Amino acid sequence: MSTLEFTESEEAFRLEARDWLAANNPGRLPSMDTAEGAAAHREWERTLASDRWSVVAWPEAYGGRDASLTEWVIFEEEYYLAGAPTRISQNGISLLAPIIFGHGTEAQKERYLRDMTDGSLVWAQAWSEPEAGSDLASLRATATRVEGGWRLNGQKTWSSRAPFADRGFGLFRSDPVAERHRGLTYFLFDLAADGVTVRPIDQIDGTPGFAEIFFDDVFVPDEDVLGGVGDGWKVAMSTAGNERGLSLRSPGRFMAAAARLVSLHADAPQPHANDRVVDAWIRAEAYRLYTWDTVTRVEAGGSVGAEGSVNKLFWSELDVDLHETALDLLGPDAELPSLWSDGYLFSLGGPIYAGTNQIQRNIVAERILGLPRLG
């Protein structure tokens, strides 16, 4: 095991979180990609928020505990080790909220942040378009200036959480003659607004975790522009950095899965899988240590930067490999619905969302290794 050291107050925080989760964790809930499951997950968000465990690192004024980044990662470790439910509010609290804190107005903070913490406001992430997936800068959805705001037109696809969400966030081209990475504006919008059509997309398991969103002259007031007009790319890259780096995949998720994999193998040892099980455990521990190194750097005033792409490559491939190993150990039983089969299906999206791994390798090559662009 690692030799990480924590202060007495940090260890006390860990024990408090562990005890609270032991007393309140509802365990596995119905899939949040169903109406029943979405409602159950919203209720769990309310439970978390009632004792200020929903967003521990946020200021107390917005429902948090003013916890440090270290304490946030500690909580995430305990959360996953406890087997607590997936967070239906993740798009809001992990991806959008950091951008509102960094780029939003005081009115936007007051209007949106508190309702994220208790499941009252679930957000859909609306980036990709039919002809602008990983190449986000080629998007075609438009925003046209009108009195008091903007009219949105176009289509977004693969919008996560959209089938059961309340609002969405994404980029629209507000200046059609500007360069690709300019003339983009970041908008917040109501999924129930006139002119918005949400069309669910069934996943491999038959549930609609994503949706297409169609915009037909949808009015969005100026107060729902996040960041400056035309500054959408800069704002969006802040979101992407959070998604690829610390926010999206806590090390606790992989530590818990690796521990379950070791237990699975111990219950019915299969010598041919020894190396794969050990490799999964080592990689989960390496990811944990890498995350703590990043936490130390950020707390000292650094940032995630392009290294977030390395991080995203690592955790997405680890997730798939770990679950494939578990399914191999299960043999014919792998066909039965279980935590492992659900996790495997979810893991297959990891190399795609948050920017495909092919795109991430280009970023690593160009921005970290300094290699020339091809073509």
In this structure, is the dihedral angle defined by the CA atoms of residues 3, 22, 261 and 295, taken in order, positive or negative? Answer: negative
335 noted as active-site residue: no
DSSP 8-state code for residue 155: E
Active-site residue, selected from the candidate residues 129, 212, 243, 307? 243
Q: What is the spatial distance between Cα 22 and Cα 191, in angstroms, rounded to a whole number?
A: 36
In this structure, is the dihedral angle defined by the CA atoms of residues 276, 278, 281 and 283, taken in order, positive or negative? Answer: negative
Cα–Cα nearest to 70, from 26, 28, 9, 131: 9
Spacing of C-alpha 239 from chain mean position: 10
Q: What is the spatial distance between Cα 123 and Cα 89, in angstroms, rounded to a whole number?
A: 7
Q: What is the spatial distance between Cα 294 and Cα 306, in angstroms, rounded to a whole number?
A: 12
- Residue 173: its H or E element: strand 167-173
What is the set of active-site residues? Answer: 243
